[in-house]
Structure 1
Amino acid sequence: MRTGCRRWGAAALLLFPVLASALNVGIVADRYDEAFAQDRAALVTEVKQLAPIPSKILFPETLQAEGGSDIARTAAAIERLQKDAKVDMIVLLGTLAGEVALSRGALQKPTVIPFAEGTGLRGIIPAGDGSGIRNVNYVLGHSTFGAALKRYREIVPFEQASQLVDARVLALFPELAARAAEQAKVQGVRLKVLPVAADGSYRVAEGSGAVLLGEMSGLAAAARTELMDGLRREKLPVFSLGAEPGVGSGVLADLFVPDERLRRLRRSALNIVAIAGGGAAERQPVAFEAQSVLRIDMAVARALQISPPFRILAQARLLHESAVEGKAMDLVTAAETALKQNLNVIAGKLGVREGEESIDEVRSVLLPQLSAELLYTQRNGDNVYVEGGFYAEKSTDGALKLQQILFSEKALARLAVQQSLQKGRVAQQRGLELEVVRQATTAFLQTHVATTLLDIRRENERLMQANLAMARQRVDAGMTDLSDVYQWESEIAVATQARLRAEADVARAYEQLNRILHRPITDRYALTEVTLEDPALVISDSGLLGRISNAVSFERLNAFYVAEAQKVSPDLDAVDAQLSAQRRQYRSDRQAYWSPDIALYGEVTHVFDETRTPGAAFSLEDETNWMAGVSLSLPLFEGGGRSARAARSSLGVRRLEADRLERLSALEQRVRGDLHTLRAAYPAIALAQSAAGSARKSYRLVRENYALGNRTLADLLVAQNAALSADFGAVNTRYRFLVDLMQLQYDGGRFDFFMNAEERRDFIARLRHALATPEAYPVKKETHE
């Protein structure tokens, strides 16, 4: 576009001297509203930038008129400026104003219409590059009615539709309805064109499968709201044929050009400068270089239960792609959700509770043991003791037995071991939670990378589509042959394949994140951008990043993080718990040689009923007896079992001590490795961003020169691929740094965003002290003898 600006600006510079005095431009607006003020300011700015002598083209506010969105008032305003001797040129900065002027045909003074929609349906056909209407220049929309209808029917294959058009436009162009119906009939669609009143009221033809909505910017805001509210109640897919209303207001799909309004104003500014330089208004270009993008509101599609084909979704820009509405997820929320919902974390917590029950079970041995017995006995009647009356032939008796261990080294040791092992389970659970948080944050960042790279792929594909259109224009102008067109078609096919793979990567990334967060696997939701300035990250503290480039302070930083990691490492805590349990077991095994088990026991028995031989000397029926005592037991010889157990426990202690030293060394190596990675990655972020910016500038320059015929397709393709690669590099470098930062926090045993305000202040204070003081945090070394 800027190439065109320079080309037309140069032409105007040659013609501009014909102006002997300043040229006054009058403006007619539909309404003096905010939109008009923005359009007027943008147009004036563009003209001043393009005009060789800006002071020669003036836009006096006294030469402005408002049509009030009324045909008669608008026509009168245009007529008044056409006859005003102080007005040299007219700009119609309103949709209705442009419609009124186009309905009149040739005009007395040069008139520029930036926003002309559906000129084909209005019977207005350009002549060559210009309008062919004396003293009239307009800027066409980016797509024709037939092309738009074809695109929309790929989303919903309707065969009958209603087209809603501003009633005032139908009054100006009564043949519009017949032309639209005729073009629709060519595609097999029965179309009924119906008016929309100034208050937004309308009706839809019975049996319509869709609604085509013409440009409605001429309606007041309240009327547009009333119109869209009514269309929602119709529960029909609505497709926009103009810029307003568009996707986001209840429309299912539209054809969108980025910055279209500004670009059309820029095209009009070029034409104004050319006309001011002596060019004929009817010969100035009516088209502007643009590549429209199909936009689909997936929230509307879901509400209407419409599922567009995959090939259409692959080409379109999707709004509200996720069915999950609400606040976007940020990094901290992802971590917190993982801790609450991850199934591994939940299972681990249940395992910790199981361990607590194991402790209670082991402790129960040291508490009183009370048991009850109920016994029924029957002996053979010819038993000598039964016949003699010593034993009852039949008896029913019960007993209560009590046992209390007074001292047992083995039982005490088992309890101490279980308590130590429980500390290990808690430490392992904390380690599991850290691992899940690392997985969640990494998956969150990787999903960000995937979605960003997909956006870059889509933008690259759109640029190639624009380059294809430019190549066709170059062929039409005789600047090149069809080989450029074929090459771009081939490149677009390759880019489309890459974009499809990128879409699959996004789906996989979301599904991985959803699995970790234990969310429905198909959920799609917005992700909040993560920056190095995020206050949830200690890295955002300005004092830290500055230290990474200093060798001495960097070594202090290493020592600080290693010392901090040693204090809170769940891995070390877990092995310490195992070591404590093993040492306690070893002490118990050594004491087994001389430490007896001492227990108190007692028993109460009662005979409820018995049958003895007649004439027995005594009967125990209804007798109650008791006994109590203390037992002391000490095994004297177990065939070497005690010495084997002691030796095994001793070896276990030594094994765990060696294991702890290894883990300590590995922890230091991991933390230091993480910091080395971050030190290299941090400056790479700025370098990658600089490389991406330079590559994009290079691409724009090469593209402009390609449009002028000064560079080849190969040059442009190399520049575009370099820009694409640089953009990928900038994204990957930044997110790779954040992933590495999450790894450092995982290895360090804590994540920044889980610190409360006091803990954070204390951590940063200790960090700054460590960076400023030599050997403030010496790394703890351990040896094993």
Structure 2
Amino acid sequence: MKRLILICWLVLLALSVHAQSETPRPVVEIGVVLDGPQPLQEGIREQLLQELAVLTAREFDVRFPEDREIIGDGTVAAARRGLNALYRDRAVHIVIAGGPIASQAVLVQARQGDGLSKPTIAPIVLDVGLQDAPLHQGASGIHNLSYIVFPSDVRSDVQVFRQVVEFERLGVVVDSRIHDALPELSEKILATIRELGVQAVIVPATADVDALLNRMTGVDAVYFAHLLPLPSDEVRVLAEGLIDRGLPSFANHAQQVEQGMLVSLRSMDDRRRLLRRVALNIQSMLLGEPAAKLPVVLQRTDRLTLNDATVRRLNLSPSWSVMTEAVLVNQAEVAVDRSLSLTSTIREAVDRSRDLVAQQRSVDAGRAAVAQARARLLPQVEAAATAVVLDDALGSPQQAERQTDASLQLTQVIYSDEARAGWQAEAQLQRGRESALAKLRLDVIQAAASAYLNLLRAQTLERVQKENLDLTRSNLELARVRQQIGISGPAEVHRWESQIATARKAVIDANARRNVAQIEVNRVLDQPLESDFGTMEAGLFDDGLATHDPRFTRFIANKRNFRAFRDFMTEDGLSTAPELVEIDAAIAARRRLLTAAGRAHWLPTLALQGDLTRNVSRDGVGAEFDPAGGESTWSVGLRASLPLFSGGGKFAAQARARHEVRQLEEQRAGLAQRLGARIRAALHAAGASYAGISLSEDAAVASARNLELVEDAYGRGVLSILDLLDAQNAAIVAEQTAANAVYDFLLDQMEVERSIGKSYLYAPDEDREVWFQRATHYLEQAHTRVADPEGETR
């Protein structure tokens, strides 16, 4: 029975779900009133529909019928007639004002006449005060009215414009329709600019580009206060005409900078964010939230964009602060001869290092020193010629008055412990020189990797600081909107202006650090110090890194494995560390010299010596006699020598050698201890930074979300500037930490490899595989031995 009830219940549930899926969604028709005959900007309708589809597709069927789109003639009166027509149309549920003129008409309609009979959105309100927009607790407070404050910060725009180029008389281009509808707005723009000590003149504009260009007389720069309703090709024609006239231009949108205008502070994201806010407001209205309670403030995302091609054509030279802060478009093609990755940087550094070349010369010289020491044990052949002139009274048959002899002498050491010890000690010292070369190679590898990773870190810091500056500019504009609508006073604006100055300095400092880091990479690679090169991001799974192999994760997966891994790395590192090999060679050399010093008391030196002498010429007194023994004589002798007393020098040499051996042994013990500590400390640091990668990413995501919430609350007047500053600083720190987390780990990994005296980025694949097999075997063996002591920590 229970089973039958369960089956019936499941059938009813399935039928219910099917019925719900078949239920038609309510159709919502939205009417639009446009300012004038110009169509909506390219793609706006499609973008808004996409935003609405994401938000409302499951509950509503939202439509924008073309016959519900009313085009005005650029006047508030015509826009009001369009609004009333849509209000009378029973099929229309929501009305959108598609432009600043239509938005002004909505505000007038809300204050006068019969009010708003349907939910209405005015998305482009330029000035709350001048347009007398109602405001109550961050919303309109008027039935069926939702508007969005979308102002232009003229003061900030002109200040930035003057940082790019100096000018005295500014032409302010305004949409003629907005100028006619809101003449007070044009006057306010002029007053703001004049407060900055700049002369300004209003230039009303229509869609006629040629007519607009002809009005550009008596000005030395152009500021576009409004986004003119021009297609992209007309914007390019306008930009080209301004360049031909030598007039720098400040555009109202970053896209127009790409089309030839000089500079803009407006972000490419502004339109998308505005459309998203409109879509969110529509969703809220459809879900029953009153339009009068929807927030009116929309924060812009300012970003300084500069057209590098226009800069060159106008022969401008912006300051360093501008160039480091700006996003450059249409940059000149700069030929970059080389592009570096982490691996290629290391290999090039090893190939080109002057320090390594110098150390190699030392190794070569040491090889010659070994041969020189060994030469004492090999045959020594000496040729000599002797010419003697005597007083004639001394001439004799044995030695004529004038006599010349030639001799050849051969000496062979049969046994000399001193010579053999010198040779063997020099051979050990040569092994130390080769270890010093290997140690220096590891130092060069670490220096190259650190320089490259620090460059990537500096590039990331520069990007984060630029983003922070963009965010600070946006918050400054938001503060001015808050001041405009009465939420805050001028103190907040001044605080954000101070923050902008600080942020700009941080961008300049970050740019300088990036340049210094690039110079260091070039120095390590023995390249011209300021030569340019491309970089490639370094990640955890790059070829050559230990983390590229999934077996690495097992080594640090838990406390037990990590303890065994540290033990393995310490043993492995101490067994092959070039520092220990070098000092072991020195100890072996001193021990051999100590042995020789002890044997010098009783062990003689044996040498075989042969001599062949031939008379070449004889003259004068005594020459009439044949030389004794004939013209040629020879001798062979065996010599054994043992110094019996040297003033105590032998005992002193033996004592000195003994103390030097003990000194080196103590130094080795201390060095081994330091190396072991270095290995374990490096592993702990690498383990922590590896674990911190995902944690820092989580923190960055959470901080970014918190910043969005705080920004929204700040815009609505709920939170103070201190709350926003704290959130922004926390987000910056979290983003920097997340961006640098991978680099921190890679730097720690380089320190691990340096501490154990190996570089797996520079090693062949087969060597890395052997190392992984040894490490895996060690961990497997460790699991069969003693467990970790209680209380041991990572």
TM-score when normalising by structure 2: 0.69
Distance (Å, rounded) in 1 between the aligned partners of 2:308 and 2:375: 62
Q: State the 1:112 CA deviation.
A: 8.4
Q: State the 1:272 CA deviation.
A: 9.2
User: Structure 2 matches for 1:658-673, cutoff 5 A?
Assistant: 658-673=666-681
Q: State the 1:406 CA deviation.
A: 2.8
Distance (Å, rounded) in 2 between the aligned partners of 1:777 and 1:622: 86
Q: State the 1:569 CA deviation.
A: 0.7
Distance 1:762 1:629, change over 3 A: same
Which of the residues 37, 46, 49 maps onto 1:44?
A: 49
Q: 1:367 matched to which residue of 2?
A: 378
Which of the residues 212, 215, 222 maps onto 1:179?
A: 215
Could you say what secondary structure the match of 1:639 adopts?
A: coil
Task: Work out whether residues 425 and 590 of structure 2, in 8 Å CA contact, stay in contact via their aligned partners in 1.
Answer: yes
Distance 1:696 1:548, change over 3 A: same
Task: Work out whether residues 603 and 627 of structure 1, in 8 Å CA contact, stay in contact via their aligned partners in 2.
Answer: yes
Distance (Å, rounded) in 2 between the aligned partners of 1:397 and 1:300: 93
Q: Which amino acid aligns with 1:688?
A: S
Q: Is 1:310 aligned to residue 320 of structure 2?
A: yes
User: Structure 2 matches for 1:728-747, cutoff 5 A?
Assistant: 728-747=736-755
Q: State the 1:676 CA deviation.
A: 2.7
Q: 2:463 matched to which residue of 1?
A: 455
Q: State the 1:184 CA deviation.
A: 3.9
User: Structure 2 matches for 1:131-210, cutoff 5 A?
Assistant: 155=164, 172-181=208-217, 183-184=219-220
Q: 1:542 matched to which residue of 2?
A: 550
Distance (Å, rounded) in 2 between the aligned partners of 1:690 and 1:586: 63
Q: State the 1:708 CA deviation.
A: 1.0
Q: For residues 155-182 of structure 1, give each alpha carbon's deviation from its aligned partner in whole angstroms, at most 9, with x where no partner exists.
A: 577999xxxxxxxx99944412123445
Distance 1:185 1:550, change over 3 A: closer
Task: Work out whether residues 455 and 517 of structure 2, in 8 Å CA contact, stay in contact via their aligned partners in 1.
Answer: yes
Q: 2:518 matched to which residue of 1?
A: 510
Task: Work out whether residues 114 and 264 of structure 1, in 8 Å CA contact, stay in contact via their aligned partners in 2.
Answer: no
User: Structure 2 matches for 1:170-569, cutoff 5 A?
Assistant: 172-181=208-217, 183-184=219-220, 257-260=267-270, 262-263=272-273, 266=276, 289-296=299-306, 308-317=318-327, 325-326=336-337, 328-381=339-392, 384-386=393-395, 388=396, 390-548=398-556, 550-569=558-577
Q: 1:657 matched to which residue of 2?
A: 665
Distance 1:755 1:392, change over 3 A: same
Q: For residues 470-518 of structure 1, give each alpha carbon's deviation from its aligned partner in whole angstroms, at most 9, with x where no partner exists.
A: 1111111122211111121122223333333333333333333333333
Q: State the 1:614 CA deviation.
A: 8.2
Task: Work out whether residues 23 and 56 of structure 1, in 8 Å CA contact, stay in contact via their aligned partners in 2.
Answer: no
Could you say what secondary structure the match of 2:346 adopts?
A: helix
Could you say what secondary structure the match of 2:636 adopts?
A: strand
Distance 1:59 1:614, change over 3 A: same
Q: 1:224 matched to which residue of 2?
A: none
Q: Which amino acid aligns with 2:583?
A: V
Q: For residues 395-430 of structure 1, give each alpha carbon's deviation from its aligned partner in whole angstroms, at most 9, with x where no partner exists.
A: 344333332323322222111111111111111111
Task: Work out whether residues 586 and 649 of structure 1, in 8 Å CA contact, stay in contact via their aligned partners in 2.
Answer: yes
Q: Is 1:58 aligned to residue 63 of structure 2?
A: yes
Which of the residues 48, 69, 88 maps onto 2:68?
A: 88
Structure 1 residues not aligned, in runs of 5+: 1-18, 61-85, 92-99, 117-125, 133-138, 161-168, 188-194, 214-238, 278-284, 779-785
Task: Work out whether residues 257 and 305 of structure 2, in 8 Å CA contact, stay in contact via their aligned partners in 1.
Answer: no
Distance 1:326 1:661, change over 3 A: same
Which stretch of structure 1 is more off in the superposition, 491-500 or 293-302? 293-302
Distance 1:268 1:538, change over 3 A: same
Q: State the 1:455 CA deviation.
A: 2.2
Distance (Å, rounded) in 2 between the aligned partners of 1:773 and 1:572: 26
Distance (Å, rounded) in 2 between the aligned partners of 1:299 and 1:642: 83
Q: State the 1:287 CA deviation.
A: 12
Distance (Å, rounded) in 2 between the aligned partners of 1:360 and 1:299: 66
Count matched residues. Answer: 661
Q: Which amino acid aligns with 1:579?
A: I
Task: Work out whether residues 391 and 612 of structure 1, in 8 Å CA contact, stay in contact via their aligned partners in 2.
Answer: no
Task: Work out whether residues 609 and 622 of structure 1, in 8 Å CA contact, stay in contact via their aligned partners in 2.
Answer: no
Task: Work out whether residues 47 and 269 of structure 1, in 8 Å CA contact, stay in contact via their aligned partners in 2.
Answer: yes
Which of the residues 674, 690, 696 maps onto 2:682?
A: 674
Task: Work out whether residues 115 and 264 of structure 1, in 8 Å CA contact, stay in contact via their aligned partners in 2.
Answer: no
Task: Work out whether residues 321 and 524 of structure 1, in 8 Å CA contact, stay in contact via their aligned partners in 2.
Answer: no
Q: State the 1:469 CA deviation.
A: 0.7
User: Structure 2 matches for 1:27-38, cutoff 5 A?
Assistant: none
CA-atom RMSD in angstroms:
5.1
Q: For residues 654-676 of structure 1, give each alpha carbon's deviation from its aligned partner in whole angstroms, at most 9, with x where no partner exists.
A: 33333333322222222222223
Task: Work out whether residues 610 and 620 of structure 1, in 8 Å CA contact, stay in contact via their aligned partners in 2.
Answer: no
Q: Which amino acid aligns with 1:348?
A: Q
Distance (Å, rounded) in 2 between the aligned partners of 1:299 and 1:613: 103
Distance (Å, rounded) in 2 between the aligned partners of 1:563 and 1:535: 26
Distance 1:412 1:348, change over 3 A: same
Which of the residues 550, 567, 573 maps onto 2:581?
A: 573
Distance (Å, rounded) in 2 between the aligned partners of 1:50 and 1:89: 22
Distance 1:552 1:344, change over 3 A: same
Q: For residues 24-70 of structure 1, give each alpha carbon's deviation from its aligned partner in whole angstroms, at most 9, with x where no partner exists.
A: 9999xx99xxx97x87653321133466997453368xxxxxxxxxx
Q: State the 1:685 CA deviation.
A: 3.2
Could you say what secondary structure the match of 2:608 adopts?
A: strand
Q: State the 1:391 CA deviation.
A: 3.3
Could you say what secondary structure the match of 2:544 adopts?
A: coil
Distance 1:709 1:204, change over 3 A: closer
Distance 1:204 1:461, change over 3 A: closer
Q: For residues 551-586 of structure 1, give each alpha carbon's deviation from its aligned partner in whole angstroms, at most 9, with x where no partner exists.
A: 222221121111111222111111221122122222
Distance 1:197 1:540, change over 3 A: closer
Distance (Å, rounded) in 1 between the aligned partners of 2:246 and 2:383: 83
Distance (Å, rounded) in 2 between the aligned partners of 1:615 and 1:691: 108
Distance 1:614 1:643, change over 3 A: closer
Could you say what secondary structure the match of 1:403 adopts?
A: strand
Structure 2 residues not aligned, in runs of 5+: 1-25, 84-95, 102-123, 132-147, 170-204, 224-230, 288-294, 787-794
Percent identity (aligned): 28
Distance (Å, rounded) in 2 between the aligned partners of 1:642 and 1:612: 52
Distance 1:468 1:143, change over 3 A: closer
Q: Which amino acid aligns with 2:385?
A: L
Distance (Å, rounded) in 1 between the aligned partners of 2:777 and 2:398: 90
User: Structure 2 matches for 1:588-599, cutoff 5 A?
Assistant: 588-599=596-607
Q: 1:96 matched to which residue of 2?
A: none
Q: State the 1:747 CA deviation.
A: 0.8
Distance (Å, rounded) in 2 between the aligned partners of 1:321 and 1:49: 40
Distance (Å, rounded) in 2 between the aligned partners of 1:318 and 1:309: 14
Task: Work out whether residues 410 and 588 of structure 1, in 8 Å CA contact, stay in contact via their aligned partners in 2.
Answer: yes
